[in-house]
Amino acid sequence: MEFYKGMNFWNTAGEEISPPLTDLTIKNAEKALGITLPHSYIELLKEQNAGTLNYPHFFVGQDKERTTMDYMEGIDFEGVERGIGILKSAEWTRKQGLPEGLIVLWTDIHAWVVQDYRRKVENPSVVYFYEDYSSEDRQWESVEIGQDFETFLSKLFRGSTLNPKDLKTSYGRK
């Protein structure tokens, strides 16, 4: 298992690279959202404004359930549709009945990875929201993945969580 350590975050193979993100675009997005984005998030978006990740996995909860976030949203910019983008976060979370103050990094509609600005902090935590199917009425549960965006990045990994040396011959290893 290889954890993210600051290089090759974006998987650019076969992907259309977005135009460079400008300081003005960042400033306008922060103004529109009423927040200050984490420096580490901005630096990633300056490399590529959204896209597929080389380090798409993280563990959630006490059971350490492996979860995958294959794509990270960036800042929408005029003339290009790239998913929901963080400027559409309020609209999308409101439609799903999630709390206000969340900036969407990734979603598949049933699960969400967000920056949590509910307490109007400058360096928000990163939280995983998921539907609780154990109750009849749809409930949203959440668990903090990282106390801030930097901590979240350090928890992203790629590769198998299995050690090939531990596999039995019956699994196809000789």
Does 167 map to a domain?
no
Provide φ and ψ at 84, rounded to 5°. Answer: -90, -30
* Distance of alpha carbon 129 from alpha carbon 3, whole angstroms: 22
* Owning domain of residue 23: 2-160
Host H or E run for residue 65 = strand 65-68
Does 45 map to a domain?
yes
* Distance of alpha carbon 22 from alpha carbon 49, whole angstroms: 10
Give the pLDDT score at 164: 56
Give the pLDDT score at 80: 47
The CATH number of residue 98's host domain is 3.40.1580.10
Dig out the tokens for 103 from the structure: 């900036």
Dig out the tokens for 102 from the structure: 């969340």
Does 82 map to a domain?
yes
Give the pLDDT score at 137: 73
Does 133 map to a domain?
yes
Does 14 map to a domain?
yes
Give the pLDDT score at 150: 96
Beta bridge partners of 71: 52
Q: How far is Cα of residue 120 from the mean position of the Cα atoms in its chain?
A: 19
Does 174 map to a domain?
no
* Distance of alpha carbon 117 from alpha carbon 109, whole angstroms: 20
| pLDDT by 10-residue block (mean), the chain, 174 residues | 90 75 90 94 91 94 90 73 76 94 95 94 92 80 96 90 58 53
* Distance of alpha carbon 174 from alpha carbon 43, whole angstroms: 45
129 CB-near residues (< 8 Å, 6+ apart): 98, 102, 111, 112, 114, 140, 141, 142
* Distance of alpha carbon 59 from alpha carbon 66, whole angstroms: 5
